[in-house]
Amino acid sequence: MVGVVPTMGFLHVGHRSLMAAARNECGLVVVTIFVNPLQFGPNEDLDRYPRDLDGDLSACAAEGVDIVFTPSVHELYPMYPPATTVHVEGLTDSLCGFSRPGHFDGVTTVVTKLFAIIGESRAYFGRKDAQQLAVIRRMATDLCLPVTVVGCPLVREADGLAKSSRNAYLDADQRSAAPRIFGAIREGVAMIVGGTRDPHAVVASIAAAIAEIPELRVDYVAVCDAASLGSLERLDGEMLIAVAVFCGPTRLIDNVAVSIVGSEVISDFGSGWVPEG
């Protein structure tokens, strides 16, 4: 079986965990590196997105990757912009889809191209981008693509900040402030563990905790249904706490999956983070 790990490069431990999962389960592992212009808005960071092909090739070699596919824009888009795009209804309306209009159409269009090139495979995506994972799963199902979409745990820095290529943009003050994003989410989880079932109260608490930090500005905070990503009136079942926060000019995202089964609350903080105490 072929395992494929689509990325935009500047690879870190989060990407490498996807490669390791693919290596573990597949005979041939392909990593794609492509900074996809179609998924960036007009005022976003396409031109300055971090790139380090030599470092990326070393990371891929260290994870035993067989093929690194680094197409040019012209190879993936012989005519730009493409006349044919892929749009997933519903799941793309909220969260990052609301904040970044057209972003997910860019993602689903390029991932469809990569799946068309690579063919039958298992494709590994991180839960760091939980909405992206839900959108791509739905797309693969709707289009009968011969691809099994595999979700992998979110990997964090030791202080809790979600690993991201965009963390490279942060200056020292912003980097010190950024772990508060995850801290605020954890406080929201603690409220749910403590019995809060009103999603608005949890959202308000997380937003207020983030707003206290001068370097941070909330883009969105949501507690939504994990499957539909729709809003909830009462917390129950499988949910996602998802946030997007500007840290200086850099937009960072994070999420924690939470499920309520009877009176039990189970949360998935991801891996890599070392809880204090």
Residue range at the interface with ligand AMP (CB under 6 A); choices 155-163, 178-186, 208-216, 229-237: 155-163
CA 25 to chain centre: 22
Residue whose tokens read 């820095």: 157
> By CB under 6 A, is residue 63 in contact with ligand AMP?
no
Binding mask 175-194 for ligand AMP (x = CB under 6 A): --------------------
Taking the C-alpha atoms of residue 200 and residue 239, their distance in angstroms, rounded to an integer, is: 14
The count of residues interacting with ligand AMP (CB under 6 A) is 17
What does the block give as tokens for 134? 């839900």
Is residue 200 flagged as an active site residue? no
Instruction: Pick one of 4, 15, 115, 138: the residue that binds ligand AMP (CB under 6 A).
Output: 15
The enclosing H or E element of 276 equals none
Minimum gap (Å) between residue 237 Cβ and ligand AMP: 23
> By CB under 6 A, is residue 18 in contact with ligand AMP?
yes
Residue range at the interface with ligand AMP (CB under 6 A); choices 74-82, 149-157, 184-192, 223-231: 149-157
Q: Got the DSSP string for 159-221?
A: TSPBP-GGGGG--HHHHHHTHHHHHHHHHHHHHHHTT---HHHHHHHHHHHHHTSTTEEEEEE
Half-sphere exposure at residue 133, Cβ-oriented, CA atoms within 13 angstroms: 19
Taking the C-alpha atoms of residue 215 and residue 52, their distance in angstroms, rounded to an integer, is: 27
> By CB under 6 A, is residue 125 in contact with ligand AMP?
yes
> By CB under 6 A, is residue 138 in contact with ligand AMP?
no
> By CB under 6 A, is residue 7 in contact with ligand AMP?
yes
> By CB under 6 A, is residue 250 in contact with ligand AMP?
no
Taking the C-alpha atoms of residue 99 and residue 103, their distance in angstroms, rounded to an integer, is: 9
> By CB under 6 A, is residue 251 in contact with ligand AMP?
no
Minimum gap (Å) between residue 254 Cβ and ligand AMP: 9
- Yes or no: say if 162 and 192 are a contact pair by the CB < 8 Å rule: no
Q: Alpha-carbon dihedral of residues 5, 274, 180, 233, nearest 10 degrees?
A: 70
Instruction: Pick one of 111, 135, 149, 155: the residue that binds ligand AMP (CB under 6 A).
Output: 155
- Of residues 12, 15, 87, 103, which has the active-site annotation? 15
Binding site for ligand AMP (CB under 6 A): 7-8, 14-15, 17-18, 125-126, 128-129, 152, 154-155, 162-165
